[in-house]
């Protein structure tokens, strides 16, 4: 399996007239000048990647699952650290978020985001360590690791702070893999590996896959006893958590048929190679390199040598396929396109790139000029993949985050914030959860967790007058529903209720002039309640629609 660092001495059977290469397990041979140059190039590339990713993520702000931790979990309640999130055990991310909340609050998103960026780059470092311990040439290992660091197709896992869950499982799982990669009896490294494996489980469901990868790699190299040591205790702990917490992932359609799982895996693999290679032709080339290179790498080996050198690549490949299959069982109802979601291909790239590097290295070892070709195959797509970081996917760009930040931070500063029920949600978007309420934001402001934004602009105050003055809940619509096309002016009284049969836009009016417009999506609930007196509103079709259904 994994061995101590080594130079580029060949792990293959020698050709006629060549000396038998040193087995990596016998100890590392001297590090060459080329290896040193590759290492320092990698260090420089990681430093440049850090600056690049910080610059890219400067517009991001809190979103999605992050609110379920910040607002939905009490840092003083031990049970909230173990409660599952969408089927995942996320104790360590909750601890990290709560620690930053205690220090930073909502004053800045950057400290939260830096956790994700640094963990992503840590994974790139660990991948290079694994590649080098597998005997991969220093330059090939450097290029493959940099390709992962700048893998723009997986950008959601890089600058979105909550993704320390998947990243944490990957990083700790790779540490577990490294620590378990030695011969001989169990020692301190194995115990430390178990701790890392437990940490991987406590970050996300990916931890289960990582423990399985370690178990398979150890089984192939060290036998069933060592494999049992690295898996059985962790399986027991995870099983105990599972029985107590009874986690449920969001899947309203049950388990998929086998042909759907197979289609998901095929789509995942094909899109992953396209994302790594960027160009379809290059994706095909990478696939050929993988197959041909692995045959050249391991075919000359005896079975014992194959177990030593092939354990990790085989385990990583199997792990990638198992990951795709398990993801399909929970997200298949979203369609095949979900198989290439950014968070999934990020995981796939982390598991497959080391194996690609082993294959590319094997081709280069057989025909030395091919090292240059293999390096070009791996490096050519990096600029295009990095370019994918330059634009956040719609709608998660600067306008969205600026607007969301303004609404949520401005809510407790609105002069009428205490005149509405504490349960009112300034943004009823279901992705924020039910816990981001006026009351929670008022409490956060009182505790010093929010920045002092001073006086609200007239535009923001008018928008908040609509958002807080018209609350939206998931209860059924009330009243008689009518399809309409023309705008409808209303002057409701506090406590009056209306219903939505479709999404609408509500505008605060001053005579005949609109002061602020707020979208209300039917997906966020069918009942509206007037929470403030003195509102003059206009109901109109939602954006890019010509009609709406209003219930009164």
Copy the structure tokens of residue 264: 């998901």
Give the predicted TM-score (pTM) of the model: 0.90
Copy the structure tokens of residue 50: 């850090």
Give the per-residue pLDDT at 393: 66
**Tokens 């966020």, residue?**
524
Using alpha carbons, select from 33, 174, 184, 163 the residue that is nearest to residue 90. Answer: 163
Give the count of beta carbons closer than 10 Å to the beta carbon of residue 481: 17
User: What mean pLDDT value characterizes the chain?
Assistant: 89
Helix (H, G, I), strand (E, B) or coil at 372: helix
Copy the structure tokens of residue 288: 């050929």
Minimum mean pLDDT range among 7-21, 30-44, 295-309, 491-505: 7-21
Copy the structure tokens of residue 372: 């240059």
* Whether the bond into 80 is cis, omega within 30 of 0: no
CA distances to 1, 131, 184, 303 from 222, in Å:
8, 20, 8, 13
Strand order in the sheet with 488-490: 488-490, 537-541, 504-510, 513-520
Is a pLDDT exceeding 60 seen at residue 369? Answer: yes
Mean pLDDT over residues 444-470, rounded? Answer: 93
Copy the structure tokens of residue 142: 């450097």
Parse the chain into domains and list their residue ranges: 24-390, 417-551
Rounded CA gap, 269 and 351, in Å?
12
Give the count of beta carbons closer than 10 Å to the beta carbon of residue 425: 24
Model confidence band, residue 266 (pLDDT cutoffs 50, 70, 90) = very high
**313-334: per-residue pLDDT in tens?**
999 999 999 999 999 888 888 8
Is a pLDDT exceeding 60 seen at residue 296? Answer: yes
Is a pLDDT exceeding 50 seen at residue 128? Answer: yes
Contacts of 380 (CB under 8 A, 6+ apart): 282
**Tokens 């004053």, residue?**
107
Mean pLDDT over residues 54-83, rounded? Answer: 89
Give the count of beta carbons closer than 10 Å to the beta carbon of residue 37: 13
């Amino acid at each position: 399996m994994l061995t101590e660092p080594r130079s580029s001495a060949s792990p293959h059977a020698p050709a006629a007239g060549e000396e038998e290469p040193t087995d990596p397990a016998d100890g590392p041979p001297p590090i060459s000048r080329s290896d040193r140059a590759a290492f320092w190039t990698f260090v420089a590339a990681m430093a440049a990647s850090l600056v690049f990713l910080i610059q890219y993520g400067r517009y991001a702000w809190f979103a999605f699952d992050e609110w379920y931790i910040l607002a939905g979990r009490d840092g003083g309640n031990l049970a909230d650290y173990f409660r599952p999130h969408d089927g995942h055990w996320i104790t360590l991310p909750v601890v990290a978020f709560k620690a930053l909340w205690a220090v930073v609050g909502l004053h800045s998103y950057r400290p939260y985001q830096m956790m994700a960026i640094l963990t992503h780059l840590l994974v790139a470092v660990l991948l290079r360590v694994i590649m080098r311990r597998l005997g991969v040439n220093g330059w090939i290992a450097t290029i493959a690791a940099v390709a992962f660091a700048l893998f723009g197709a997986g950008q959601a896992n890089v600058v979105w702070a909550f993704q320390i869950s998947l990243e944490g499982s990957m990083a700790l799982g790779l540490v577990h893999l490294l620590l378990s990669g030695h011969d001989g009896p169990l020692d301190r490294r194995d115990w430390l590996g178990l701790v890392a494996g437990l940490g991987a489980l406590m970050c996300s469901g990916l931890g289960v896959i990582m423990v399985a990868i370690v178990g398979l790699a150890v089984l192939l190299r060290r036998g069933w006893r060592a494999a049992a040591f690295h898996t059985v205790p962790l399986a027991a702990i995870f099983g105990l958590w599972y029985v107590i917490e009874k986690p449920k992932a969001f899947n309203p359609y049950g388990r998929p048929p086998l042909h759907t799982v197979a289609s998901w895996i095929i789509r995942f693999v094909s899109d992953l190679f396209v994302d790594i290679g960027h160009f379809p032709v290059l994706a095909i080339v990478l696939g050929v390199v993988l197959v041909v290179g692995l045959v050249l790498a391991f075919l000359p080996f005896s079975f014992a040598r194959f177990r030593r050198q092939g354990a990790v690549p085989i385990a990583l490949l199997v792990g990638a396929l198992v990951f795709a299959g398990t993801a399909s069982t929970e997200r298949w109802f979203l369609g095949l396109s979900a198989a290439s979601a950014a968070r999934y291909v990020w995981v796939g790239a982390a598991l497959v790139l080391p194996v690609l590097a082993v294959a590319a290295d094997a081709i280069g070892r057989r025909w030395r000029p091919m090292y240059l070709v293999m390096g070009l195959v791996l490096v050519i797509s990096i600029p295009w993949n990095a370019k994918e970081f330059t634009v956040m996917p719609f709608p998660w760009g600067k306008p969205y985050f600026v607007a969301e930040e303004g609404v949520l931070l401005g809510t407790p500063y609105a002069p009428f914030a205490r005149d509405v029920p504490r349960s009112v949600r300034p943004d009823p978007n279901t992705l924020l959860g039910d816990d981001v309420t006026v009351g929670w934001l008022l409490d956060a402001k009182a505790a010093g967790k929010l920045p002092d934004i001073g006086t609200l602009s007239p535009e923001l105050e008018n928008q908040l007058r609509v958002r807080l003055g018209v609350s939206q809940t998931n209860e059924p619509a009330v009243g008689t529903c009518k399809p309409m096309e023309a705008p409808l002016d209303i002057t409701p009284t506090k406590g009056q209720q209306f219903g939505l049969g479709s999404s609408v836009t509500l505008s605060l009016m001053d005579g005949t002039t609109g002061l602020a417009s707020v979208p209300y999506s039917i997906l966020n609930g069918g009942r509206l309640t007037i929470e403030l007196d003195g509102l003059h509103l206009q109901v109109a079709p939602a954006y890019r629609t010509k009609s709406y259904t209003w219930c009164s």
